[in-house]
């Protein structure tokens, strides 16, 4: 099992990369990772994901109750908890706002079926 400190570093790095690549802006988006069966590490609400520090991350239980940390968990926490509750194999959840996918959503259009995941 990955240690809590390692997971914190990985979430912070993922948040920084998402921000640097324009996949999130400001405090948009959120990330979480399953620590173990009873704990989930999650980014805080209202904080820029490109500038997070280890002490900014919070730990919640599977019901969303704060177990560790001093900030409020992501406002999208319930979406993350739903994924974890339905699939034991889900180890992390990333919610971003890629500009092209967001443009399709705003236009009310589906992404083309023949698009490659790398795009």
φ and ψ at 19, to 5 degrees? -65, -50
How far is it, in rounded angstroms, from Cα 46 to Cα 17? Answer: 18
Q: Whole-model pTM? A: 0.86
Residue 118: per-residue pLDDT: 66
5 Cβ contact list (under 8 Å, min separation 6):
54
**pLDDT below 50 — which residues of the chain?**
1
- Sequence-distant (6+) residues with CB within 8 A of 67 are 39, 59, 60, 61
pLDDT at 57: 98
Write down the pLDDT at residue 2.
58
Q: What is the pLDDT of residue 114?
A: 83
Which pLDDT belongs to residue 113?
Answer: 80
The pLDDT of residue 116: 72
């Amino acid at each position: 099992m990955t240690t809590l400190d390692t997971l914190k570093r990985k979430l912070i790095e993922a948040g920084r990369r998402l921000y640097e690549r324009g996949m999130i802006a400001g405090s948009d988006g959120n990330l979480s990772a399953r620590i173990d069966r009873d704990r989930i590490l999650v980014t805080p609400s209202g904080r820029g994901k490109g500038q997070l520090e280890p002490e900014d991350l919070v730990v919640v239980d599977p019901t969303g109750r704060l177990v560790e940390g001093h900030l409020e968990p992501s406002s999208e926490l319930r979406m993350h908890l739903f994924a974890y509750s339905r699939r034991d194999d889900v180890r992390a959840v990333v919610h971003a706002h890629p500009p092209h996918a967001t443009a399709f959503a705003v236009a009310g259009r589906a992404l083309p079926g023949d698009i490659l995941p790398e795009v």
